[in-house]
Structure 1
Amino acid sequence: MQKFDFLPRFRSGIEMTITIVPVGQVDEDAIVEIAERLRKRFDRIIVLDERPVPTAAFNPIRKQYNSLLVLHSLKDIPGDIVIAVTSLDLYAESLNFVFGRAEVGGKYCIISTARLGHHDRKIYYDRAEKEAIHEIGHVIGLGHCPNDRCVMHFSNSIFDTDIKSTWFCERCLDLLHHRR
């Protein structure tokens, strides 16, 4: 299994921390499972206590939460990469919904479990892991990948998420290696 130590901003002797922060009420089992899965890929994972939902993020017309406004509410959280996990239904300006959102090349990202649900918990957790790694990929500088099996492929539907693997394809790994 490949580790995170070759990725950008991660140089020998420098430890990178990924901080997971629940936003609003989130299934505690899901937070634990996401953290455990990320620990298999990344060196250091910290889970913080739940943060409140920013009230300004709610759009009453859409009955959804603006993903960018939720992201902005995380700016005071320390860590090399901060990933919020929420059960809120998120949207972005020109999209009906998003599974997640990230600051490309920044440090903050968010995933939503609102549309990842499945009666089989393994499938649900697989989906959450894929979306978390996808958003972390954006934070470390990757764009969307044309390979529908790559974790960096854009998910237009839950079916796209189900097809993806949980890790980067060779092309994306090469891009990461060349950014060092």
Structure 2
Amino acid sequence: MRDDPTLTFRNGHRVTFVANGTDEQGPYLRLEHILLRPERLAGPHWHPVLGERWTVRRGRVRYRIDGVEIVASAGDTVDAPAGSVHEFWNEAPDTVIDHEIRPPLRHWEMFRLWHNLDRAGKTTRARVPRDPLALALLWDYQDGYLAGVPAWLQRSVLGSLARVARGCGYQRRWLENGPDLP
């Protein structure tokens, strides 16, 4: 299961590992998302180092990047450079998105951790981990910050909780070994 290139969340959202490597622009990770129904995909957040690019292959996605709303349809590409506050919603059923992350840092591991927690029933309907330690570990793997909360406070509180989570074996249980799922 850990080596499966496709992660399927309980709501049907599928994330497929497509490629990773390095090209003339540096290291990258490419994923494909298949979204079955309209819903919020990510609340406002930002990454100090990594940038993201999405190309909608089918459907429609609404992005807000640094306060500017963009509605992207099939063939449109949207960029969120490092440091930009961004959030997005899927607005059409059966949407397909190509997602590129540069540099990838731990983004694939973040999706794997989130998937494992979700499949084990450890997340809310909005896919937020119920356990504060699991939430903090997920925050640590996303290599970014929630918008509207000072970064120093997130590093202090969530960073400390993520260290406790690793000390309690959450990383081994939920990421390295994966849960025992049906």
Please indicate the TM-score interval, normalised by the length of the shorter structure: 0.3 to 0.5
- The structure whose residues are more often helix, as a share, is 1
- The structure whose residues are more often strand, as a share, is 2
State the TM-score, normalizing by the size of structure 2: 0.32
